[in-house]
Structure 1
């Protein structure tokens, strides 16, 4: 073999070796794919997704399914270049920068904890929204869900503390507490009046500047509610706030005579506020695929996600726009009865 041929052969092997090594090197991306769906008026592991005690409930049929997004990657388990390339070639998945899912100032554990808090808040907000729709009264407050390690609140405020006031201002909801803290300058003292067990006490916490220069103390809060009956939601490892709308509809369906679905398989997504406003979510394209795969024929879509959803909707899946819980209920009534307007997503 000539020296030139040998050189080319060695160079080829080197390029191949580098390519193979490079294909398996970790890259800072996350692959999003369609996740499992759960019927909120059905069961998970032979247990009802929604259990209601202390109030009359009614039979349901069909499905009111929440949809999820599964992901590969992240700081603790980076994907390799080959996995990312496969994702880029698959129209049903998305490959996004790692920092869009895992903020640089958050550890994977902190992200998981925040998702758990968001899910708990979402379930409570969903119950509150359903009760508001039915005009059933309840009371609410604010409590400490967790504190961020190394931040001023760590070791001073405790999980389960009920926040009664901040700087003497009644803690009417989470937003009031957060806004009161943000109104301070870094280095200021904030006085939290809390109930801890049977004891009521004032806890002084110094503020610091956050990564985006906002003032904070490092406390994760959640709204607490006192409902007139028990609503328990069981969804396993699902986290985040995007199932709020479907939880509310599932609760409403169980608390009212008749059937919201008319026996149809309905899926949907959207955050929910206690007053029933539906908010946008991420991963809409993957959620649409998951809904279609589950057999759904109708997909309740937050208004702000409509434009994106229209570009990705699978054949045979009807998009119905939902601005509020009340709008979603009216749309389902119209679908079931064949009377009235069903709001559709429009190109934005």
Structure 2
């Protein structure tokens, strides 16, 4: 027995070995325990002028388009924890000492009143809305008319419309009156007293159909009718615009999608052949809004060779603290300001940044 000398010969020795073993197991177990935090780190960039899995990320057809050059990169963050898989003490501790990562309480990022599946669905819906808003913002900038379609995004369980309306329905009319926007739908329903049987005309899977819904009394606005649905504004161009990027969520790609559409519809290159990156929400009027993870997104852009980074002005306090050296950062509030920054960069002029602290 070659290893007999390693076997404890007394009860006390055996107890010490067991205690030591349990201590090691305890340490390992504590490091592996899940914690209610999320690690945010630099994610991949996607060139909105290029292809993704063999398909152009922003495809425009049935209208004159122009060649593009350079890159217009949307930046992302990678999230670990919360709805995106368990996060352990060990992983969180490592991230605390990594300057490119942030450790954020799950509740701050996603709220405490929604479950993981709802969070993922909301992120996907935000990404869809960013694409739709980008269509409206880009075409409005180019003086091209857009139309709005009021679409059912969600139906409240046990609400007035449960079982009658479905997510994805396009609302065409209420009691025979056409509804061209979400505002039209809301106004038509609220004009009725609660408890009114109401004919809702919708387009569902390409077919027009009519359903009956008895309006309820809105618990948030007593005395006014409601259907118990969430409406999403979807904007349509007079030609075809499709987005093919998958596996990304959130609203922060809105600005870069807007610029990708404009670049393809105008003869002059927005990039001048350069590598541009950026981030920012967009509304239908072209206003750029703040986003999360700006520090990690700038790190990703710098690592990817971006020469100019377009940042929402609302994020300037964080930009000033975290902007990587060697990359110009422009602060923008609108699509027009983003276009002005791109023009200045192409022409070798200074861009408007976040200024000094």
Q: What interval of TM-score do these two structures reach, taking the shorter chain for normalisation? A: 0.7 to 0.9
Name the CA distance, whole Å, in 1 between partners of 2:92 and 2:186: 38
Name the CA distance, whole Å, in 2 between partners of 1:307 and 1:176: 39
**Which residue among 87, 93, 101 is the counterpart of 1:85?**
93
In the alignment, is the contact (CA less than 8 A) between 2:133 and 2:234 conserved in 1? no
In the alignment, which residue of structure 2 is the partner of 1:227?
237
TM-fit CA distance, 1:8:
8.2
Asked if 1:48 corresponds to 2:56, the answer is: yes
Query: How many residue pairs were aligned?
Result: 340
In the alignment, is the contact (CA less than 8 A) between 1:36 and 1:67 conserved in 2? yes
**Which residue among 303, 310, 322 is the counterpart of 1:293?**
303
Name the CA distance, whole Å, in 1 between partners of 2:75 and 2:123: 16
In the alignment, is the contact (CA less than 8 A) between 1:156 and 1:205 conserved in 2? no
In the alignment, is the contact (CA less than 8 A) between 2:135 and 2:235 conserved in 1? no
- TM-score normalised according to structure 2 size: 0.83
Name the CA distance, whole Å, in 2 between partners of 1:327 and 1:84: 38
**Which residue among 180, 185, 195 is the counterpart of 2:202?**
195
Q: Which secondary structure does the structure 2 equivalent of 1:79 belong to?
A: coil
Which structure 1 residue ranges, 5 or more long, are not aligned?
A: none
- TM-score normalised according to structure 1 size: 0.85
Q: Which secondary structure does the structure 2 equivalent of 1:237 belong to?
A: coil
In the alignment, which residue of structure 2 is the partner of 1:273?
283
TM-fit CA distance, 1:317:
1.7
Alignment of 1:55-70 (within 5 A): 55-70=63-78
The structure having more radius of gyration, on CA atoms, is 2
Q: Which moved more, 1:44-53 or 1:69-78?
A: 69-78
**Which residue among 101, 107, 122 is the counterpart of 1:114?**
122
Label 1:208 to 1:5 Cα distance change in 2 as closer, same or farther (>3 A).
farther
In the alignment, which residue of structure 1 is the partner of 2:30?
22
Label 1:262 to 1:283 Cα distance change in 2 as closer, same or farther (>3 A).
same
Cα offsets for 1:280-316 (capped at 9, x unmatched): 1111111111111211121100011111122111121
Q: Which moved more, 1:313-322 or 1:70-79?
A: 70-79
Alignment of 1:239-278 (within 5 A): 239-278=249-288
Name the CA distance, whole Å, in 2 between partners of 1:300 and 1:177: 36
Cα offsets for 1:27-49 (capped at 9, x unmatched): 11111111111001111112111
